[in-house]
């Protein structure tokens, strides 16, 4: 996987954007049919035309940014002018095409990034597993012969980056949908503080919890994409020094049911950080157990998804993935008092955890407690439900607490991918990214080279 920084240097040295785009398009066609699972639509001709235009601008010293000409993928949840935003569904196939780009897509284009296509996803973004019965499910690049789950809901986004079909990906994260597939596919996934990046033109799952984030090869890549999407000028990310860093490691439910491969990789990551001078402080943080209580009736996602979907369900319920439909319909059973109670309970939890975590630089925990299981093992409804709850459990922490969070690979080369998650304070996005860049150098040193 090439980094954005390396591609920017190559472009500055004379490499053409057209060659980058052609390489990505070739991989989309070359991955033994995987491209058809990863992309619901490929914008080949538009991408080539955009690349030629950027190359002409660069020859005249007028490229809009140093990243201009770099190919990226866009999750099928974002409006792109002229495309129907189907959100991985067939229920929206006959919807009108978008007349304008989503705000973040427009910002990426303005900086010169080139969308090569729309990526597959869990239907309507409502699952952390990544299955899609309508368009087939992208296979995890690790052990593709077995056919393992990619994680979701930004499944195609993660696989597009891991397979070199794009150099970065635009995703969304409501309960872990950037970080889960990133962790399971061996790349970096970033969830910003929810209101940092506009969601205009993004089909909603939960307007309370939805956030827009990048998936990319490294922390620095994610930081650059995050800055552009937030309307900021991307700068060179300076890794935070590790010596003296105070990282709080919750000793609560986030460590339950860890598979041995995850437990070993997590323990090794903590050991490496401690040897580098970080102070790892174990915290009971039993307050996190309250998240399951908050979500016992489906939480914000079910209530707010049902509010958006109820009219579509009235006419097209039969076209929904039954697993997704069942989750949405949980919102039908919540009344106004349940929802108001949920708002107050969340605010109280945010206050209680903030009073404890404020003295630390970040929380640290496994992103996902398991490695990617074979898709064949998820065929029963009971097993699917159990795995979905398990992969969402740790990542949901940051969404409920309204914080920024990132998943960084921490496994040994050749092993099943494992993600290490850092959770920062509300609004402390650039600080968390700097800390993550420092941590990346310790727990995944080969990854962090740019």
The pLDDT, as a whole number, for residue 446 is 74
pLDDT interval class at 31 (50, 70, 90): low
pLDDT of residue 447: 66
Q: Are 124 and 80 in contact (CB under 8 A)?
A: no
Mean pLDDT of the chain: 97
Q: C-alpha distances in angstroms, 162 versus 19, 170, 187, 217, 441?
A: 19, 14, 7, 7, 19
Q: Which of 75, 206, 211, 450 is labelled catalytic? A: 75
How does residue 238 score in pLDDT terms, banded at 50, 70 and 90? very high
In whole angstroms, what is the distance from residue 273 CA to residue 244 CA?
10
State yes or no: pLDDT of 449 exceeds 80.
Answer: no
Tell me the average pLDDT across 249-256: 98
* DSSP code, position 195: G
pTM: 0.97
pLDDT the model gives residue 10: 98
Please report the beta strands in 367-432, taking only residues with DSSP state E, as ranges in sequence order. Answer: 405-409, 419-423
Question: Choosing from 17, 73, 127, 177, which is the catalytic residue?
Answer: 177
CA distance 175 to 211: 9
CA distance 405 to 423: 4
What sign does the CA torsion over 205, 209, 283, 367 have? positive
Q: How many C-beta atoms surround the C-beta of residue 14 within 10 A?
A: 8
Predicted local distance difference test score (pLDDT) of residue 30: 81
Domains of the chain: 4-229 (3.90.1300.10), 246-443 (3.90.1300.10)
**What does the pLDDT look like over 185-219, one tens digit per residue?**
999 999 999 999 999 999 999 999 999 999 999 99
What average pLDDT score do residues 223-245 get? 96
The answer to whether 407 is a known catalytic residue is no
Q: Residue 33 — pLDDT band, cuts 50, 70, 90? A: confident
Active site (annotated) includes residue 75: yes
Rounded CA separation 38/280 (Å):
38
Q: For the segment 301-317, what is each residue's pLDDT rounded down to a tens digit?
A: 999 999 999 999 999 99
Q: Does 372 have pLDDT greater than 60?
A: yes
Q: Would residue 444 show up in a list of annotated catalytic residues for this protein? A: no
Cβ atoms within 10 Å, residue 252: 15
- The catalytically annotated residue of 153, 211, 407, 450 is 153
Query: Model confidence at 339, in pLDDT bands (50, 70, 90)?
Result: very high
CA nearest neighbour of 121 among 2, 41, 191, 198: 41
- Per-residue pLDDT of 67-88, as tens digits, reads 999 999 999 999 999 999 999 9
Q: How confident is the model at residue 448 (pLDDT cuts 50, 70, 90)?
A: low
């Amino acid at each position: 996987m090439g980094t954005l920084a390396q591609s920017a240097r190559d472009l500055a040295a004379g490499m053409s954007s057209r060659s980058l785009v052609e390489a990505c398009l070739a991989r989309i066609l070359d991955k033994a049919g995987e491209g058809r699972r990863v992309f619901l639509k490929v914008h080949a001709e538009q991408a080539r035309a955009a690349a030629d235009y950027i190359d002409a601008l660069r020859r005249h010293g007028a490229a809009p940014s140093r990243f201009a000409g770099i190919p990226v993928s866009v999750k099928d949840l974002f409006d792109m002018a002229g495309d129907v935003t189907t959100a991985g569904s067939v229920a929206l196939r006959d919807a009108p095409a978008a007349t304008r780009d989503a705000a973040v897509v427009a910002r990426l284009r303005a900086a010169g990034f080139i969308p090569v296509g729309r990526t597959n996803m869990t239907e309507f973004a409502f699952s952390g597993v990544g299955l899609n019965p309508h368009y087939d499910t992208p296979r995890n690049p690790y052990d593709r012969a077995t056919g393992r789950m990619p994680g979701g809901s930004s499944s195609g986004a993660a696989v597009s980056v891991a397979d070199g079909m794009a150099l970065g990906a635009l995703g969304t994260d409501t309960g872990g949908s950037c970080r889960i597939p990133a962790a399971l596919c061996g790349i970096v996934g970033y969830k910003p503080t929810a209101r940092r990046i506009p969601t205009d033109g993004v089909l909603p799952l939960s307007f309370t919890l939805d956030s827009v984030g990048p998936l990319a090869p490294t922390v620095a890549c994610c930081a650059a994409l995050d800055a552009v999407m937030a309307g900021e000028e991307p700068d060179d990310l300076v890794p935070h020094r590790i010596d003296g860093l105070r990282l709080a490691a919750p000793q609560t439910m986030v460590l339950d049911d860890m598979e041995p491969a995850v437990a070993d990789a997590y323990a090794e990551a903590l050991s490496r950080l401690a040897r580098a001078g970080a102070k790892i402080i174990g915290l009971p943080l039993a307050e996190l157990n309250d998240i399951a209580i908050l979500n016992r009736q489906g939480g914000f996602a079910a209530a707010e998804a049902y509010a958006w979907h109820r009219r579509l369900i009235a006419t097209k319920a039969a076209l929904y993935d039954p697993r997704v439909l069942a989750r949405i319909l949980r919102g039908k059973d919540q009344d106004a008092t349940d929802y108001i109670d949920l708002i107050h309970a969340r605010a109280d939890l945010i206050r209680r955890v903030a009073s404890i975590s404020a003295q630390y630089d970040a929380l640290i925990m496994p992103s996902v407690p398991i490695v990617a299981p074979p898709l064949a093992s998820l065929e029963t409804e009971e097993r699917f439900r159990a795995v979905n709850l398990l992969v969402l459990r740790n990542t949901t922490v940051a969404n409920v607490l309204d914080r920024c969070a990132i998943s960084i690979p921490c496994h040994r080369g050749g092993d099943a991918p494992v993600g290490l998650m850092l959770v920062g304070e509300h609004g402390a996005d650039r600080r968390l990214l700097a800390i993550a860049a420092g941590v990346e150098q310790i727990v995944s040193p080969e990854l962090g080279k740019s």
